[in-house]
Structure 1
């Protein structure tokens, strides 16, 4: 018995975020459950766009924003945040494509290592990153709110 033909995967057009994309990107992040009450996503976008060490990459399918990745570095290590794929576009490889774009962005900046954080209870996302070659490194993350708030989970 022959396997069914593979569904064609739409190619993403990836580019840095534009002013006109901000509302759609924030809505995508909120729809994917990536935002937290203590982080203003529009302010995060503005900060990433402020300097040369960070970018918000947007993946478009037919002009619509369907995927994102915020990428940046401290000169030694790269970090990625807000990796999102619109729920109606999952399973098409867009998350993988956005991660490759973030990795390429860091390589072009001369950064050799990319790190990211996943909440321990998010096994689906952990499995995704493992499927594209990421492995867990045991580290203890220490944090402090500088305004005196209690730590968030």
Structure 2
């Protein structure tokens, strides 16, 4: 299995994975998120593909200082097999290649099960509160 940048025609498969793993929300358009990430040099969507099936993804982007990870997803039948760690490592490498010195991610407060996964990968609670504001209905 290899990791590739997601191709435009694979976006529906990635979105299906994100929906299947509970990562999407009605107020975000995951198709637009994926397209936006693939259109700019400061972001990407990496995917692990096997037999033309998207098994795992991670979206990575940066502002030059902080890298961010989004849509870290692994096919539920393959969870626990190391694919998630492999994808996070690949995204961190992608960011490091661009000179980004740190990486962060947000975990929804109700998603307590995934905290241990990220802690095992070296992520720590930054003791910050993330605030947000919507600029348009589709952002």
> Match for residue 18 of structure 1?
7
Structure 2 gaps, min length 5: none
Shift of 1:62: 3.5
The structure-2 alpha-carbon separation of the partners of 1:58 and 1:146, relative to structure 1 and needing over 3 Å to count, comes to: same
Query: How far apart in 2 are the matches of 1:62 and 1:30?
Result: 20
TM-score (normalizing by structure 2) = 0.94
Shift of 1:136: 0.6
Q: How many residues align?
A: 137
TM-score (normalizing by structure 1) = 0.85
> Match for residue 102 of structure 2?
113
- Determine which structure has more spread, i.e. the larger CA radius of gyration: 1
Q: From 95, 100, 117, give the equivalent of 1:128.
A: 117
* Paired residue secondary structure (1:37): coil
After TM superposition, the structure 1 stretch with the greater mean CA deviation from structure 2, 27-36 or 120-129, is 120-129
Pairwise CA RMSD: 1.3
The structure-2 alpha-carbon separation of the partners of 1:64 and 1:147, relative to structure 1 and needing over 3 Å to count, comes to: closer
> Match for residue 138 of structure 1?
127
Query: How far apart in 1 are the matches of 2:129 and 2:19?
Result: 28
Please say if residues 8 and 35 of structure 2, whose CA atoms lie closer than 8 Å, have aligned partners that are also in contact.
no
Query: How far apart in 2 are the matches of 1:76 and 1:27?
Result: 31
* Paired residue secondary structure (2:37): helix
Structure 1 gaps, min length 5: 1-11, 149-153
